[in-house]
Amino acid sequence: MAANPDFDLYKISEEHEALREAIRPVCENKIAPHAADVDDKSRFPQEALDALIEAGMQAPHVDEQYGGMGIDALGTCIVIEEVARVCASSSLIPAVNKLGSMPVILGGGEEIKAKYLPKLASGEAMFSYGLSEREAGSDTASMKTKAKRDGDHYVLNGQKSWITNAGESEFYTVLAVTDPDGERGRNISAFVVEKSDEGFSFGEPERKLGIKGSPTRELHFDNCRIPADRIVGAEGEGLKIALRTLDHTRVTIGAQAVGIAQGALDYAVGYVKERQQFGKAIAEFQAIQFMLADMAMKVETARQMVYVAAAKSERQDADLSFFGAAAKCFASDVAMEVTTDAVQLLGGAGYVKDFPVERMMRDAKITQIYEGTNQIQRLVMGRAVLKGY
């Protein structure tokens, strides 16, 4: 094929690069200085939330008609990536705001969108997602939480587990069985529950390995009565909406993983340039350069996979399930590997809390687990391959 000077090579748009340039100083100046303290004290990163709200980036995906920035899926991934590069806990603010609100965006009518999305866009409220239960993790269709119609209301009873930002968010998309005798998986509906609803409470915060600044708690429903107009979509459509949501938001977890990995790589590069052994910087040793080369190669590969999946998410391509699962799976495996190698490159210094790479390694692990374990991602991909994705 002859060279064509008018052929535009694949590249990130100027708008997306401008977005990165805008969010990076916010991350470095207003979020990074608090990351270690947030982790050490297991406290919510309020400074990050305030900074993101000021920048209009706490929920960048919300459409302009609801007062949001209307940033596309790729741009939202760039925001999450840049925040995760300095603080993984803080990156869960925009990531989970998207996760919690996507069912409303994908399956809700105009009335419920107009009620909740403007408050999310303004920073007045955050949005979490209640799908998993103690005995219904990967097997979501086996959930036990029930929602019974009672006139103009539904009454919820049950619990949800491993809910990110629980207690901090004002709104929760909750999945519950509405037809106990119905067909498995087609008997589940989605609802918006508000923090102030009577009969709705939270368990104690989980004591976690990583992402300690993002509270993870159970949701408890004890005859929690909510108006019937809080249903998202029609009865029985809940699980379908939930799985469509994950197709889109797994991409954002891939972005979080890329950010964590990039932050660890950046720090390791700076360290090996300064660390002296045998009379020279350890960066001059070939073994170190080979490690850095492998780390950088894998981070860049993961980034490109995430960006391609984000573009497919924006277009709602038919093969999004495969690409979203692949991006999340590969990027999270890379994050775990790269952060572990970063700890190795720092030697003893990498194992102590005076340096951030040990925190990054602990934070990276969850990206292989939540929003579908990487074993589940491989099942999703394998089925797609067999169908001829």
Q: Is the pLDDT of residue 8 over 70?
A: no
As annotated, the active-site residues are 371
Out of 9-18, 35-44, 312-321, 360-369, least confident range:
9-18
Amino acid, single-letter form, for residue 331:
A
Domains in the chain: boundaries = 14-122, 127-237, 240-387
Mean pLDDT of the chain: 96
User: pLDDT tens, 114-147?
Assistant: 999 999 999 999 999 999 999 998 899 999 999 9
What phi, psi does 35 have (nearest 5°)? -60, -45
Q: How confident is the model at residue 1 (pLDDT cuts 50, 70, 90)?
A: very low
Q: How confident is the model at residue 7 (pLDDT cuts 50, 70, 90)?
A: very low
Percent of the chain whose predicted confidence (pLDDT) is above 70: 97
- Pairwise pLDDT comparison (7 vs 201), residue with the higher score: 201
Q: Find the DSSP H helices in 27-69.
A: 32-41, 46-55
User: pLDDT tens, 291-323?
Assistant: 999 999 999 999 999 999 999 999 999 999 999
Instruction: Please give the span between the terminal C-alpha atoms of the chain, in angstroms, as a whole number.
Output: 28
Domain 127-237 sits in which CATH superfamily? Butyryl-CoA Dehydrogenase, subunit A, domain 2 (2.40.110.10)
Q: Is the pLDDT of residue 165 over 90?
A: yes
CATH number of the domain located at residue range(s) 240-387 in this protein: 1.20.140.10
Q: How far apart are CA 372 and CA 246, in angstroms?
A: 8
What pLDDT score does 10 carry? 64
Q: Is the pLDDT of residue 3 over 90?
A: no
Q: How confident is the model at residue 4 (pLDDT cuts 50, 70, 90)?
A: low
Percent of the chain whose predicted confidence (pLDDT) is above 90: 96
Q: Is 256 exposed, middle or buried (0-12, 13-18, 19+ CB in 10 A)?
A: buried
User: pLDDT tens, 249-299?
Assistant: 999 999 999 999 999 999 999 999 999 999 999 999 999 999 999 999 999
Q: How far apart are CA 73 and CA 69, in angstroms?
A: 12
What pLDDT score does 9 carry? 52
| 3-state SS track over 296-365 | HHHHHHHHHHHHHHHHHHHHCCCCHHHHHHHHHHHHHHHHHHHHHHHHHHHHHHHHCCCCCHHHHHHHHH
Region 158-164: what's the mean pLDDT?
Answer: 98
Q: Is the pLDDT of residue 113 over 50?
A: yes
What pLDDT score does 389 carry? 78
Fold held by 14-122: Butyryl-Coa Dehydrogenase, subunit A; domain 1 (1.10.540)
Region 177-197: what's the mean pLDDT?
Answer: 97
What pLDDT score does 90 carry? 98
